Structure 1
Amino acid sequence: MRRALQYLATSAAVLCCIIIILYGDRNFAKFPDFRPAAVSKLTLETRELKFQDIGLLKGLGVEFLPNFKNPCWYEVTEAHNDLGKNKSFYASLSKSPSLSKYRYKRETKKILRCLPYFFLTGQPKCATTDIFQRINIHPDVVEPIIKGPHWWTRRRFGPPYAPQPVTLSEYLGVFNASRIEEERTDLRDASQGWFHEKITGDGSTSTLWDSSLTMSYLHKIMAGSMHKPITKYLLSRRHGSNSLSNTQTYSLKIKEAEDGVYVNDEENLQEFKYHQYHNEDGIVLPFTVADVIHSVLPKSRIIAVIREPLSRLYSSYLFFTKKTSLSPEDFDENVKTSIQKWKNCIREYSDRTCAYNKTLQNSMGVRLYNGLYSIFIRDWLKVFQRKHVLILRMEDYHQNITETMDTIFSHLDLRKLTQEEGRKVNMAPVRNKNRKKPEIGKMPESTADILQAFYKPYNRDLANLLQDSRFTWEDIYSKGHPEQLHD
């Protein structure tokens, strides 16, 4: 009996030592604590979000309200204005003619906070502005202050996209929580109570493809021994590792490398390596902004609108190029030099690494990388369930606005519109149409031939990924060069 007691005492002492060592290890302590905490002790006004909180709201102890379709929660705060105090961020919002309607209307310390239910992504010049305005015409969709706050990809990190980091609290101010809260449906079910079915969305086009700042910051906080626990955490959040019980069907393994960590994804027979290309601004990780969003909003509805890549590239060149010497000849020269830089990169690195590398992106005269849809969409499909991701062609949208909008509303699980409501959606004026093209002229046919050859394997890869031959755009090419397409 005495020996048994001595054994128990010794075991207890050893256990205490292990606990002390673990909690005393700084590397261990630095890893974010994802255990839930009392909401009343952790308000957004008293604790600013740190980028190290990979789980974002997990670290804040927030749970979404079950009687709201949109991801929302109540917060106790002293502030009566949920638009925040970041003047540099809200300067762009001052042009809104009815900005005051977005201020929280109730004089109370308990206010509703909401994140977006859906993300309308895509690439620049793919009609996302026009589609976003039509989505917001639906009576059950609450329009945010601006279409694209670009918070997840850019502004939360500060420079160069914002003078100072935009906090989560300020990002939440973009969404009109008052309107989401004010209308409710009585389900006449005591177990459910009142159900708020209104939703809101984020229309930032950079969300699909711009993960450079996310990768750079993750690289910094994954230094030393932190890369393993953070890598395992992010991979564990992906739908494949959670939804499939058979680990042999889907496995993600981590192994050491001299210059970083390899993540071997056996399902797609791809190997990712994070390393440095030119400088830290060009760091490429196996994780994208999709992983960060999914860690917070795993049930988000994603809508990606893409366009035949040749016409998209020319429209983007005309819309974003600031120099005054725009011309088809200048475009042709920039295309040739950009393709050469791309070829130089993929001689040494993978297509994925070159597509995400910010150093290479900034050196190109045209946004060649934006048309590599399969690379970006594949990363999103690794993270989100396929049923939550809707991929649309801009050409199909222009061909049949009514059918496309019905598909979008169905994807968002919104009710069917009445005839009058549908008329308002379909008859809305076209937004953000490029006006420069008729003045400058068409893309040269020789340039179109070069670009068509460049994008062909990537289009084929996308069609295989989505199991849909439309995404080769052969139906467009068979009608002639795509520079004749509508913007």
Structure 2
Amino acid sequence: MKRKHIILILATATLLAISYISTKLRMLQTPVANRGQYSNQEITTGKSTDGMLGTTLVPMITNSTKNERINYHESEHTEERLELNENVLRSEDGGISLAWDQHGNIETFYGWYPQELQNELLSRYKNPCYMIDGKLYCLPYFFLAGMPKCGTTDIWSKISQHPQVAAAQKEPHWWTRGMIKGSLKLRGYMYQRTINIRKELVRARYDKKATKMIVGDGSASTFWENLLWNKLPSMDKTPSTMKIIASILPNAKFIVSLREPSNRMYSEYLAFQPTSKKSVTEYEQMVHEGISLLRECFNRSTQRECIFERQKRPKDYPFTRIRLSFYSVFVEEFLKYFSRDQLFLVRMEDWQTSCKQILPQIYKFLELDPLPKSSIFPICRQLSRHTNQHSYRIVGAQPYRIKQVIRNFVAPFNEELANIMQDNRFLWDDVE
């Protein structure tokens, strides 16, 4: 046992020595004129404030950048002023995560006022980043969202291969679940977004190209889930996910993938329904019952209530989720808080056949440097991910009669979407 302890101590000491030497070498490579922006790099080893282990390069800010430092902790004044406000979301430890006024406008976000947070952005970076307690943390520059089984995993994989896009966990579901349920605090979420971009951005003190690095969030639920509506009874005064994000990241860009609704629903059923229960007969029954229940809900509540808020919505079969096929409702919610030029809407059917044309358009939308065709073509030739081919072979194709039932039900919403986007492709008349 003692021998193991000695080996462990020696290994730890060796790692620390290597980290220290590599840091000093990087500093020596830094032009003298640029060293004044940051003081010596601090090596933080062990358990960080994010509750994660590791060795992280952390920039120390000097007097010239003190105005860029944020005190992350909520002030007593903020707590005292908001504790009588019923429109408050609290974390598991009782702290205020989010507070909004009687009109649904965000008052504070983890102790920050939205406008103050905008003023704290580090202007030298393209990605929204901040100095929090002397460390660099970032929020997403873009969101890749969409409905289940609309190809977001494949699109995320291909976007992430651009050299100016930092790798990150695709689906943290923080804005729709983690924040609401308190399972991950803001600093932990920002750490996840920053872990693979921090070193590049710190390097920006002597390499201006590094300031072009961006990081995204690929949680599909960001576009359609509004769990906050289930937390409080005053639904009409509760902000939607889009409104919360717009208050904090008003310049965020959204890439949203959609798919012909009946095909999307069947693919979702095949992907998530337990294998032993999958059958065309069961699926058809679920479709008819789901449509019937939604029609009843529409007769007594608004469409928005039935689609957004679970307490108002009737039983929702989790493996068809017809409500997620009302795309126009979600796009309209987005356009209440963001401009049209912040949305890149892509049909999955087009992505599958025209990746070589669409991927450069997405890169341009994200304001990334263009890649040559010699780079684009190999990326697009990579196989799509998370397909249901095995389940299709076992259960069979979706019968045409079921497709028509779904298409007739969602047709008004497709027409609304086509009008909003001024694009008849969203009628899906060209899809079998």
CA distance in 2: counterparts of 1:49 and 1:118, whole angstroms: 26
For the structure 1 residues 185 and 415, does the alpha-carbon distance in structure 2 shift closer, same or farther, using more than 3 Å as the test? farther
CA deviations 1:95-125 (Å, max 9, x no partner) are xxxxxxxxxxxxxxx3210000000010000
Runs of 4+ in 1 over 4 A off after TM superposition: 26-32, 283-286
For the structure 1 residues 407 and 361, does the alpha-carbon distance in structure 2 shift closer, same or farther, using more than 3 Å as the test? farther
Partner amino acid, structure 1, of 2:408? A
CA distance in 2: counterparts of 1:128 and 1:439, whole angstroms: 24
Structure 1: runs of 5 or more not aligned: 1-22, 33-46, 77-109, 159-163, 188-192, 221-273, 275-282, 477-481, 483-487
For the structure 1 residues 194 and 433, does the alpha-carbon distance in structure 2 shift closer, same or farther, using more than 3 Å as the test? closer
- Match of residue 120, structure 1, among 134, 144, 148: 144
CA distance in 1: counterparts of 2:306 and 2:237, whole angstroms: 12
- Match of residue 214, structure 1, among 220, 225, 228: 228
Partner amino acid, structure 1, of 2:417? L
How high is the sequence identity, in percent, across the aligned residues?
30
Q: Does 1:67 align with 2:81?
A: no
CA distance in 2: counterparts of 1:49 and 1:186, whole angstroms: 39
CA deviations 1:169-221 (Å, max 9, x no partner) are 1111212232441453979xxxxx8871100000001111101x22244x46x
Q: What is the DSSP-based 3-state SS (H/G/I as helix, E as strand, rest coil) of the residue aligned with 1:68? A: coil
Q: What is the DSSP-based 3-state SS (H/G/I as helix, E as strand, rest coil) of the residue aligned with 1:303? A: strand
Please tell me whether the aligned partners of residues 142 and 179 of structure 1 are also in contact (alpha carbons under 8 angstroms).
Answer: no
Partner in structure 2 of residue 56 of structure 1:
109
Partner amino acid, structure 2, of 1:70? N
Q: Does 1:177 align with 2:197?
A: yes
Please tell me whether the aligned partners of residues 197 and 213 of structure 2 are also in contact (alpha carbons under 8 angstroms).
Answer: no
- Match of residue 303, structure 1, among 235, 245, 255: 255
Partner in structure 2 of residue 315 of structure 1:
267
Q: What is the DSSP-based 3-state SS (H/G/I as helix, E as strand, rest coil) of the residue aligned with 1:174? A: helix
CA distance in 1: counterparts of 2:264 and 2:413, whole angstroms: 15
CA distance in 2: counterparts of 1:422 and 1:184, whole angstroms: 26
For the structure 1 residues 472 and 149, does the alpha-carbon distance in structure 2 shift closer, same or farther, using more than 3 Å as the test? same
CA deviations 1:129-173 (Å, max 9, x no partner) are 0000100000000011x2000000011222xxxxx5310011112
- Match of residue 363, structure 1, among 313, 316, 323: 316
CA distance in 2: counterparts of 1:296 and 1:331, whole angstroms: 40
CA distance in 2: counterparts of 1:447 and 1:118, whole angstroms: 36
TM-score (norm 2): 0.71
CA distance in 2: counterparts of 1:465 and 1:338, whole angstroms: 27
CA distance in 1: counterparts of 2:425 and 2:288, whole angstroms: 27
For the structure 1 residues 342 and 357, does the alpha-carbon distance in structure 2 shift closer, same or farther, using more than 3 Å as the test? same
For the structure 1 residues 185 and 406, does the alpha-carbon distance in structure 2 shift closer, same or farther, using more than 3 Å as the test? farther
Partner amino acid, structure 1, of 2:405? I
Count of matched residue positions in the alignment of Structure 1 and Structure 2: 333
CA distance in 2: counterparts of 1:383 and 1:358, whole angstroms: 23
TM-score (norm 1): 0.64
Please tell me whether the aligned partners of residues 151 and 348 of structure 2 are also in contact (alpha carbons under 8 angstroms).
Answer: yes
Please tell me whether the aligned partners of residues 144 and 219 of structure 2 are also in contact (alpha carbons under 8 angstroms).
Answer: yes
Partner in structure 1 of residue 407 of structure 2:
452
The residue correspondences of 1:149-164 to structure 2 (distance < 5 A) are 149-158=172-181
CA deviations 1:266-317 (Å, max 9, x no partner) are xxxxxxxx6xxxxxxxx46573100000100000001111000010000001
Partner amino acid, structure 2, of 1:56? F
Q: Does 1:324 align with 2:276?
A: yes
Partner in structure 2 of residue 412 of structure 1:
366
Please tell me whether the aligned partners of residues 126 and 394 of structure 1 are also in contact (alpha carbons under 8 angstroms).
Answer: yes
Q: What is the DSSP-based 3-state SS (H/G/I as helix, E as strand, rest coil) of the residue aligned with 1:184? A: helix
Q: What is the DSSP-based 3-state SS (H/G/I as helix, E as strand, rest coil) of the residue aligned with 2:371? A: coil
- Match of residue 337, structure 1, among 272, 283, 289: 289
Q: What is the DSSP-based 3-state SS (H/G/I as helix, E as strand, rest coil) of the residue aligned with 1:304? A: strand
Q: Does 1:166 align with 2:184?
A: yes
Partner in structure 2 of residue 354 of structure 1:
306
- Match of residue 245, structure 2, among 293, 296, 307: 293
Partner amino acid, structure 1, of 2:293? K
